[in-house]
Structure 1
Amino acid sequence: MLTQPGERISVETMCEPHFTQGDLSREKPAWRLPSWNGLLAVGHDLALRAGWAGQERTVTWTLSARPSAVRTARRLSAARLSAWQLAEPTTGPAAVPAAETATGTAVQLVERLVADALARGAEKIKLTLSAEDGLLRCEVDEQRASHAVVRPSRAACADLDRLACCWGAAGAVVWFELRLTPQH
């Protein structure tokens, strides 16, 4: 940058990009690099759309311990359960409110357990879903340096008691199961 003798230069002037007339208009990009959780959700969503995934009945994701983990866990679990075709009808005469479906209940509980793990200071969160023998099982494993025993919050315990057919905690893992088929 050339200046005239005696001309004062401000920091703003020094930091501004200077373009010649032949340069294209260069504006700051409106996007930013997504977090690992965002990349994980996007990658999983693309795999489901392309048909690369969805056939296996057990899936595990490792989430970064960031606030976006709750949203990512919700999106990943909802997409996977939809790919497994576990969702009950949400339109027509057999319509069931989304919160009352096995998928809606599972997503609600996953959100609660991931939020609890973040509140307790987990360094990473491993989320595992599996669907076998008419049961949907979810495990939320808090990975941390200390090997503390995990105890779900009161609100999580109340939700698990009310919504899951069974649940428990072992070490750093909190798990629950939901029935996928009606009892006879």
Structure 2
Amino acid sequence: MSQPHVEHGTAGAGEPALRMWSWNGLLALGDNLAVRAGWAGQDRAASWLLSARPSAVPSARRMTAVRLNAWGLHEQAAIADRLVGELVGEALRHATGKIRLALWVEDGLLRSEAEDLGARVPPALPRHNPLLDRLACCWGVAGRIVWFELLTSERH
């Protein structure tokens, strides 16, 4: 996992300047550490609240890859990474508040949802997305939620 960018310099009047990590970067780092330590990842469900900032997309993609690899879904991880980036990017274009990203595995399906938690009326979202059409087994829009599903080899 790449390290967040921290700049050192001077802010003026001899004061050192230090740019701090974004909320989304800290969230991704914390999730990665929790999965590596075994504190998260076994329950096959996860959700995060992302700030509606450009860093939401790469953070969401990192957390998705880490979590799916922890769940043993290596084949789905690369595809889900791209699709989660698309979902969060779409939510970010319309977001007025935080974005909730959720992943879970159930009955042979990996499902991901991105939801704009803002207060305003949801915009009309596109009903056609070439990337989702091509890579997801199914996807859709429900209010402020955009979702997709991928097949896994697990059937219970």
TM-score bin (small chain): 0.7 to 0.9
Mapping for residues 1-150 of structure 1, pairs under 5 Å: 16-17=13-14, 28=16, 31-87=18-74, 101-150=75-124
- C-alpha distance in structure 1 between counterparts of 2:47 and 2:124, whole Å: 20
Tell me which stretches of 4 or more aligned residues in structure 1 moved more than 3 Å: none
TM-score (norm 2): 0.84
Structure 1 residues without counterparts, runs of 5 or longer: 1-14, 18-26, 88-100
Q: Distance in 1 between matches of 2:60 and 2:124?
A: 19
1:16–1:147: structure 2 CA closer, same or farther, 3 Å change rule? closer
TM-score, normalising length from structure 1?
0.72
What RMSD in Å do the two structures reach over aligned CA positions? 2.1
3-state SS of 1:56 partner: coil
Larger Rg computed on CA atoms: 1
For the residues of structure 2 that align with 1:152 and 1:173, how far apart are their CA atoms? 12
Structure 2: gaps of 5 or more residues? 1-11
Of all paired residues, the percent bearing the same amino acid is: 51
Indicate whether 1:165 and 2:134 are aligned: no
Matched pairs, number: 144
Quick check: 2:87–2:113 contact (8 Å CA) kept in 1?
no
**Cα 1:16–1:141, aligned 2, differ >3 Å: closer, same or farther?**
closer
What is the alpha-carbon distance in structure 1 between the residues aligned to residue 116 and residue 124 of structure 2?
A: 8
- Paired position in structure 2 for 1:92: none
